Structure 1
Amino acid sequence: MQSSKVTVQVLGSSIQDDLVIWIGDKLMKQHKLPAHQPVTLKFGAWKQQARVVPVPKGDGVRIQPDLARRMGLKAGTQLRIQYKATSHTLILGPVIAVLVSRSYPQFQDRPFGAITAFCKELTDACRSQGAFVYFFTPNELGSQSSTIQGWSYADHWFKAEFPAPDVLHNRLTTRKLENKPSVQHFMKEVKTRYRTSVFNEKFLNKTEVFQALQQEQNLQRYLPESYLFKNYAMLKSMCSKHPVVFLKPIRGSLGKGIIRITRMSDNSYQCHFTNVNGARKQNFPKLLNLFTAISGKMKANRYQIQQGLQLMEVAKRPVDFRALVQKNLEGQWELTSIVARIAGNQHFVSNLARGGTLSSVKEAVAKSNLSAQARNDLSGKMKRAALDIAAGIESQIPAHFGELGIDLAVDSYGRVWLLEVNSKPSKNDNTQMDDTKIRPSVRRMVQYARFLSGFVR
């Protein structure tokens, strides 16, 4: 369905007894809107009967202050407009809501703390494409799912009541918040009652991902041997097959809690445990001694046991890669970026929170210990792997995802492997923040929301 990007103007006072929308006559003709006739005005879940009045030689859309207040709109908002003649419905939107973990209302210029810059960038991206976005936290959820207390930006951050959205992007950063009954009820309610599209609706865990992708024949080449850790027999089996084995918390992030087990030449074992300052090392004469030492951790949290890989290195530091794949304006997976992450000193994981540094793929490969043959078409191999894995996640896991952070490894022979998939990728992991422009990853989020809500053209 055709849509046009328009500027919403708010009149100085409500000069009509009934609700009126004034629309430029060119737009009226373009969308075949009925002049002086009642229509249903729709903005997200909000609906209201109103009368359309053409404005000769006018452009944009003009609404009354009371109407703007009920919609949560400020003058100058950029939106798209559609008209469905069959239902006499005039649609303004799309309305996008982003569910974030917390807000700090006492700081008016930084109401979302460290992610405020991203929220402002997303607001700018929406304005440039003709979309409306607001942000809210689990604490703002009330008994009514039709309206939400949230935050939006128009020259400054303001709080208002907004309608339930056309598209909801779940950016909650903890499972505890995501699993709150109020959050789960809200997401279910808006999907069923208002047909809201909710994407990145759940966290993924490592076991779930690897078990799902094992079902896809074409993806098995990317999967290191990996199981949900159960007992000593499994540890013994994996350590007999692989010189290095990793134990990873299935719900871990930022490299927390990872244990690397290395079989030494005298058949003793060395453990490296991640911590804030690097890696703590401990030696064990027998595997059973090692298992006894770590079994407490295994009882407290579930772990994934995974084949260790001989990763490519830069200056003797292991390197992995974060690929960001996102749905685009056509609803198809597309690669937005791949960056190399080089582990810091005294660390064996590459996360930025553990002292890792970012690099372009080209620069990292040029400085690596890979042979010329292993470097051949490496970027192309990683792109294909990332897109294949995203398609596999979509096919095998019953949840809606619009973007995925896919962590890849390249071994010393140039083979690409999957390390893990993150359904809540950090916006700062991919490219550096730049105040002067909107990043491709943020633009694409808005494009996918437009696809989901039908505001494509």
Structure 2
Amino acid sequence: MKKQIQIEISEDTTQKVLIPKGFLSKTKLTKISFGSLSQEVVIDRHERHSLMLSKDIAEQLKFPNFSIPLHLFVNNDTLYIGPLVGIFTSGFTPFQMRPIGERSLFFSKLLSVKKSVGALPFVFGEQHIDWERGVINGLFYHHDGWETYEVPFPNVIYDRLPNRKSERQKQLKLVKERLQTEYMIPWYNPGFFNKLDINERLLQNEEIAHYLPETYEFSSFSEIEKMLADYGHVFIKPMNGSSGLGIHQILYDRFEGDYYCRFRNQTGDNKLLKFPSLESLMSHIFAERKLNKMLVQQGIHLIRSDKRPIDFRVHTNKDENGEWIVTAIAAKLAGPGSVTTHVNNGGVIKTLAELFPIPEEQKEMEEKLTTAALKISQALEANMEGIIGEIGFDLGLDRLGNVWLFEANSKPGRSIFKNPQLKDFDFLTRKLSLAFSVYLTEKVITRPEEMFK
């Protein structure tokens, strides 16, 4: 059972909790819980529509003095207030205005959706945990500013580590392991996806395999020659790359017999170089790169606008009922001479309506992308370890109308939301990334055997 209700703190010290008369429970309630803390209390009813904590109970539960609607969950004789959501990250600074550096704005916007979700989120890192006392000095965004409150361990943890380097740190791995195993706290969106691993797992699903371009771990020049003969162009990209960095497009002109490589150099300039052979191209472009950490992927002849290739960013999120939904779709047009559609390389973000002004065509494209994204989300969830709550897909449409999966991102970037027409989608993705915590909290309270089987 769950219900969303306003939480208030009274000034008295009566060791009491007052709940609305209309709030029904099959059992007599004798305890109240917030995060990892619980307290035996007297629970009475009152005429108001809010839940009232006496001041002493709020202090014992370490409940911050926020007047905010939260969810109530009931299991056996205990009333749970929450969810209290810990957002785990790294890269903290000593500055009050920007405690997480350049990402402070992102986190402030994420935490600002708390009232619409009915959750109480805070940001924390390894250094904020007091293991002996079982509390965390969490960073809350409240009244348009950052404030620190000592709170219990949370009901669930949302992983927002910024990169693979931080994810590999031994100390952060130990924090995650301890909170999951010793404290049985669900941890969602752990880890960054590996492109080859994702490809191999999805290939096993017949319903999904047709979305996947031919992709291999680099092994030989002859393999690239064969793919160039089949497809005309291929992409060579890092297995664990992000933001379009390190991607090279190799093209073969079968009439002239020349090879071309399009890429972005270290100074940020787009380059297109011509070579008489594949060997000369590879030795010049990849002389200092470890090719055993690269993928070779089939080139797709994408639909275009103004002669510029287009791909699509599609966000999917799990909602408060644990169901996958599509929360955002945007088109990305490649910058002039760019090997990718990324904004940092001159890409332009457009809505589907801008790209497809004919309503029927727009609807058809939206349905194709939505169907693919939901099917792949479900397949990834079934084939990956851990709890996945959101995914950002880079999808393409070829000239025949087929959908292709280029990348799946467990921590999707948010550059598409720079388009002001996508403002509502920006809010929805942030809202649902926290709303999923409501579903997980109810599940871990009422059906923990399903979470930790």
Find the aligned partners of 1:361 and 1:58 in 2 and give their Cα distance.
Answer: 43
For the pair 1:97 / 2:91, whether they are aligned, the reply is: no
Task: Please say if residues 235 and 299 of structure 2, whose CA atoms lie closer than 8 Å, have aligned partners that are also in contact.
Answer: yes
For the structure 1 residues 350 and 164, does the alpha-carbon distance in structure 2 shift closer, same or farther, using more than 3 Å as the test?
same
Correspondent of 1:304 among 295, 310, 331: 295
Q: Over residues 45-91 of structure 1, what are the superposed CA-to-partner deviations in whole Å (9 max), with x where a residue is unaligned? A: 2223333354565842123257437525124133222333x3x2121
Alpha-carbon distance in 2 for matches of 1:148, 1:342: 44
Give distance in 2, aligned partners of 1:307 and 1:199.
32
Alpha-carbon distance in structure 1 between the residues aligned to 2:416 and 2:174: 31
RMSD: 3.0
Q: Is 2:325 the partner of 1:334?
A: yes
Q: Secondary structure at the match of 1:165?
A: coil
- In the aligned structure 2, how far is the partner of 1:301 from the partner of 1:46? 49
Q: In 2, are the aligned partners of 1:141 and 1:182 still within 8 Å (CA)? A: no
Report the equivalent of 2:448: none
Per-residue deviation, 1:340: 0.3
Where do 1:363-402 residues align within 5 Å?
363-366=354-357, 377-402=364-389
**Which one-letter code corresponds to 2:24 in the other structure?**
Q
Matched, 1:60 2:42: no
In 1, Cα distance between the equivalents of 2:417 and 2:38? 39
* Contact 1:10–1:74, Cα closer than 8 Å, also in 2: no
Q: Does structure 1 residue 30 correspond to structure 2 residue 24?
A: yes
- 2:40 aligned with 1:49, yes or no? yes
Q: Which moved more, 1:56-65 or 1:381-390?
A: 56-65
TM-aligned CA distance change 1:66 to 1:345, over 3 Å: same
**Structure 1 residues 377, 144: closer, same or farther in 2, change over 3 A?**
farther
Distance 1:66 1:296 in 2: 66
Distance 1:329 1:57, change over 3 A: closer
Letter in 1 for 2:182: R
CA contact (8 A) 1:21 1:53 kept: yes
Find the aligned partners of 2:361 and 2:148 in 1 and give their Cα distance: 54
Q: Is the 8 A contact 1:278 1:345 kept in 2?
A: no
| Residue 348 in structure 1 maps to residue 339 in structure 2 | yes
Distance 2:17 2:129 in 1: 33
CA contact (8 A) 2:352 2:362 kept: no
What is residue 306 of structure 2 aligned with on the other side? 315
Question: What percent of counterpart residues are identical?
Answer: 26
Residues 128 and 31 of structure 1: is their aligned pair in 2 closer, same or farther, counting only changes over 3 Å? farther
Q: Does 1:9 align with 2:4?
A: no
Unaligned ranges ≥5, structure 1 = none
Q: What is the one-letter code of the residue matched to 1:279?
A: N
Matched, 1:163 2:157: no
Give the drift of 1:396. 1.8
Alpha carbons of structure 1 residues 104 and 416: separation in structure 2 relative to 1, 3 Å:
same
- Answer yes or no: is the 8 Å Cα contact 1:10–1:75 preserved in 2: no
Which residue identity is paired with 2:259? Y
Contact 1:145 1:164 in 2 (8 A): no
CA drift at 1:328: 1.4
Check if 1:203 corresponds to 2:210. Answer: no
Answering whether residue 410 of structure 2 is matched by residue 420 of structure 1, we say no
2:362 and 2:19 map into 1 onto residues whose CA distance is 58
Aligned to 1:377, the other structure's residue is in SS state: helix
Partner residue, 2:116? 128
The structure-2 alpha-carbon separation of the partners of 1:213 and 1:144, relative to structure 1 and needing over 3 Å to count, comes to: farther
Contact 2:258–2:277 (8 Å) recurs in 1: yes
Separation in structure 2 between the aligned mates of residue 145 and residue 331 of structure 1, nearest angstrom: 33
Does the 8 Å CA contact 1:125/1:443 hold for their aligned counterparts? yes
Specify the SS of the correspondent of 1:203.
coil
Inter-CA distance 255–297: structure 2 relative to 1 (3 Å threshold): farther
62 and 72 in structure 1: CA distance in 2 versus 1, 3 angstrom threshold: closer
Question: Equivalent of 2:252, from 219, 240, 263?
Answer: 263
Aligned residues: 441
1:405 aligns with 2:399: no
Q: Is the 8 A contact 2:116 2:431 kept in 1?
A: no
Cross-structure match for 1:217:
206
Cα 1:133–1:301, aligned 2, differ >3 Å: closer, same or farther? farther
Residue deviations 1:87-141, cap 9 Å, x none?
x212111111112332334142x33344434433333322233211111134434
> In 2, Cα distance between the equivalents of 1:176 and 1:142?
24
CA 394–22 in structure 1, closer or farther in 2 if over 3 Å, else same = closer
- The answer for the alignment partner of 1:245 in structure 2 is 234
State the shift of 1:445 in Å: 2.0
Q: Deviations over 1:387-412 (max 9, x none)?
A: 11111111222232100001001112
Secondary structure, aligned partner of 2:290: helix
Counterpart-to-counterpart distance in 2, 1:321 and 1:25: 48
Distance 2:32 2:430 in 1: 29
8 Å CA contact retained: 1:255, 1:274:
no
Show CA shifts across 1:285-305 (max 9, x none). 111112222444442771110
Gaps of 5+ in 2: 446-453
Counterparts of 1:317 and 1:239, CA distance in 2 = 21
Residues in 2 aligned to 1:58 and 1:94: alpha-carbon distance in whole angstroms:
19
**Displacement of 1:432:** 4.8
Contact persistence 1:165–1:196 (CA under 8 A): yes
Sort the Cα spacing of 1:206 and 1:144 in 2 relative to 1 into closer, same or farther, 3 A: farther
Instruction: State how far apart, in whole Å, the 2-side matches of 1:328 and 1:435 are.
Output: 19
Could you tell me how far 1:249 is from its partner in structure 2? 0.6
Query: Equivalent residue of 1:399, what SS?
Result: coil
Further displaced range: 75-84 or 204-213: 75-84
* Structure 1 residues 122 and 241: alpha-carbon distance in aligned structure 2, compared to 1, 3 A threshold: same
Relative to structure 1, the CA distance from residue 219 to residue 24 in structure 2 (aligned partners, 3 Å threshold; closer, same or farther) is closer
CA contact (8 A) 1:5 1:129 kept: no
